[in-house]
Amino acid sequence: MKKVFILIGIFMIFVFNCFALSTYTKKRNVDTLNETSWELSKIQQNDKTLSIPKGTNITINFSKDRINGHSAINIYFGNYKIQNNILILSNVGTTEMAGSQELMDIERKFFDILQSSPKISYDKETLTLSNNKGEIWTFKALSLEKKIQNTNWQLVNMAGKDIKVQDTKNEKSITLSFNKNGINGNGGINNYFGSYKIIDDNISIEGIGATEMAGADNLMRIEREYFALLESVKKIKLVNKKTLVLTTDKGETLTFSNAEIVKQYPVINDIRKPVASQKFRCSNKREFTVYYVTNNTIQLVDETSNVSFLLDQVVSASGSRYKDENIEIHIKGKEAIFTQNGKDVSCRTVK
């Protein structure tokens, strides 16, 4: 009997440890990805490397349970969770910008894999998404230096003192912008510029030059203090993409708020769901997918050849008709007539 109790005790400890490990793993998945950013570096399908169009900007940002980024043309956003190494998205929305055909094609493919509950794996430098079609999308971690490029900031606190954000003709906000070639901004009175270097979480700012406008004594004093601290910063920290903290070797801080956050991410009333689509199978066994890009434009994808066409809506007595010079599709509910070079083919929707 004593042995039975010992075995039961060992079994209960084993079960508890498994549960604890599972809980830790799930929490670690989210914590490890939290506040990380990634950009597309390679696409493979069935061990073949596919070309990525020049100028493609596809990124993934993780913040707590939120996901967002650039999808080649548009900005997307939503919620995510990871279960058993599977990335699951919900409440996904996108903007609805149009672009070149090749960028629209890769954007559609990115959304396809992103919302297919792909397998996810990652380490400190690389993240991959893969599906059962043999696709592997590889992303590399964005360095802080790259994250900070082309961002604009407004000073909200200097050495522990809150800075009132001004927006009047005579009093300007203190701003800081990063670009590939250096920094620039406004010190409250004068415009300034300089160079910077970021390595890991270390930053150095040098060669600050400025215009020589005069202003009120209190504003001139604040500006001089700002420039002195800016040239002394040694550490840089980016928090939630919304807050930037620069720290001097004496521990004094310059805290900025992202000046572009409202421009980059639409307010809640502007959030739109992913592009709606319909899939058709035609009498000649060809299959097409219709993506409703805007109210007046569709992207028609030939699933057999993977060729896509951008068609505009035209006047129709019934249903919806879209066409270009050589191709037309007339959709009526679950049925459609596909016309190419004057030849009609009947089609029906499939799941």
Helices (H), the chain: 2-33, 101-114, 144-148, 217-230, 261-264
Q: Is 136 exposed, middle or buried (0-12, 13-18, 19+ CB in 10 A)?
A: buried
- Give the number of other Cβ atoms within 10 Å of residue 179's Cβ: 13
**More confident call, 4 vs 142:** 142
Rounded distance between C-alpha atoms, residue 181 and residue 13, angstroms: 59
Helices (H), 144-213: 144-148
Amino acid, single-letter form, for residue 339: T
Q: pLDDT at residue 125 above 50? A: yes
Rounded distance between C-alpha atoms, residue 277 and residue 293, angstroms: 9
DSSP string of 84-129? TTEEEEEEEEE------HHHHHHHHHHHHHHTS--EEEE-SSEEEE
Q: Which of 221, 227, 150, 156 is nearest to 187 (CA)?
A: 227
Question: Could you tell me the CA-to-CA distances from 12 to 16, 64, 127 in Å, in that order?
Answer: 6, 33, 36
The per-residue pLDDT for range 185-236, each reduced to its tens digit, is: 999 999 999 999 999 899 999 999 999 888 889 999 999 999 999 999 999 9
Q: For residues 93-107, give the mean pLDDT.
A: 87
Q: Which of 266, 263, 293 is nearest to 278 (CA)?
A: 293
Which pLDDT band holds residue 28 (cuts at 50, 70, 90)? very low
Looking at residue 124, its pLDDT comes to 87
Q: Is 251 exposed, middle or buried (0-12, 13-18, 19+ CB in 10 A)?
A: exposed
The per-residue pLDDT for range 225-276, each reduced to its tens digit, is: 999 999 999 999 988 778 999 999 999 999 998 876 534 433 333 333 455 7
Rounded distance between C-alpha atoms, residue 32 and residue 24, angstroms: 11
Q: pLDDT at residue 12 above 70? A: no
Measure the CA dihedral 132/136/137/142, to 10°: 120
The per-residue pLDDT for range 142-170, each reduced to its tens digit, is: 888 888 887 889 999 999 999 875 544 45
Q: Which of 19-33, 76-90, 206-220, 289-303 has the lowest mean pLDDT?
A: 19-33
Q: pLDDT at residue 120 above 70? A: yes
Rounded distance between C-alpha atoms, residue 298 and residue 281, angstroms: 17
Q: What percent of the chain has pLDDT over 90?
A: 43
